C-alpha cells in the first residue's frame, strides 16, 4: 500500500513540475505578440482624447480610480 502512495505522490510531483516547463513565448511566436492589436492600448491617441474629455467633464485629475472632483451635475 505504501508503494502505491509513493508512486501516486511521485506522479503528482512530476506532473506539477512539467506544467511550468513551457512558460514564455518561443522566438517564432514573437511576431504574433508584436502586432498592434495585441498591445495594451492599441490606439493611444484616441485614449488620450477620451481621457481629456472625461477629465474635462468631471473637473478632476489623477485617474479614473480616484474619488472626488467634479460638480456632480449630470
How confident is the model over 26-59, as pLDDT tens digits?
A: 777 777 667 777 777 878 889 888 888 877 776 6
How many residues are there in the chain? Answer: 74
Helices (H), 1-74: 2-19, 30-33, 44-58
Q: Is residue 65 part of a domain?
A: no
**Most confident range, picked from 1-15, 31-45, 55-69:** 1-15
Confirm whether 72 is domain-assigned: no
* Boundaries of domain holding 1: 1-58
Query: HSE-up of 35 (CA within 13 Å, CB side)?
Result: 6
Structure confidence by residue, pLDDT tens digits, 27-36: 777 776 677 7
How far is Cα 27 from Cα 47, in angstroms, rounded to an integer?
A: 31
Residue-level pLDDT at 10: 92
In a domain? residue 42: yes
pLDDT at 9: 93
Q: Are 69 and 58 in contact (CB under 8 A)?
A: yes
Amino acid at each position: 500500500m505504501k508503494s502505491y502512495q509513493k508512486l501516486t505522490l511521485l506522479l503528482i510531483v512530476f506532473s506539477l513540475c512539467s506544467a511550468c516547463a513551457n512558460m514564455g513565448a518561443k522566438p517564432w511566436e514573437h511576431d504574433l505578440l508584436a502586432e498592434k492589436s495585441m498591445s495594451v492600448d492599441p490606439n493611444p491617441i484616441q485614449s488620450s482624447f477620451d481621457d481629456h474629455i472625461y477629465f474635462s467633464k468631471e473637473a478632476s485629475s489623477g485617474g479614473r480610480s480616484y474619488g472626488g472632483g467634479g460638480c456632480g451635475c449630470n
